[in-house]
Structure 1
Amino acid sequence: MSDTSHRRERVRERTLGEIKELARAQLVAGGPASVSLRAIARDMGMTAAALYRYFPALDALVIELCTDLYNEVRTECEAARDALGDADPVQQLTAMARSLRRWALAHRPEATLIFGPPVPGVEQFHEQCVDLQHAGACFGAVFVQPMLELWQAGRLPDVRHLDLDKLAGALPAQGELPIEVTAFFLTSWTRLYGVLAAELFGQLTWAATDTEPLFEAELAFFAAQIPPIATLADARAQVAPETAGR
Structure 2
Amino acid sequence: MNKTIETILNHRSIRSFTDERLTKEEVLTLVKSAQAASTSSNVQAYSIIGVTDQDKKAKLAELAGHQPYVENNGHLFVFCADLKRHEYIAQKAGKIHQEALENTEAFLISVIDAALAAQNVSVAAESMGLGICYIGGLRNQLVEVSDLLETPSYVLPLFGLVVGHPANQSSQKERLPIELIYHENTYQQDEAHLDRYLQEYDERMSRYYEKRTNGERKDTWSEQMIRSFSQPKRAYLDDFVKEKGFNRK
Query: Which category describes the TM-score, using the shorter chain as reference length?
Result: under 0.3
Q: Report the structure, 1 or 2, having the larger strand content.
A: 2
TM-score, normalising length: structure 2: 0.25
Greater length-normalized contact order (CA 8 Å, ≥ 6 residues apart) = 2
TM-score for both structures, normalised by structure 1: 0.26
Structure showing greater Rg: 1
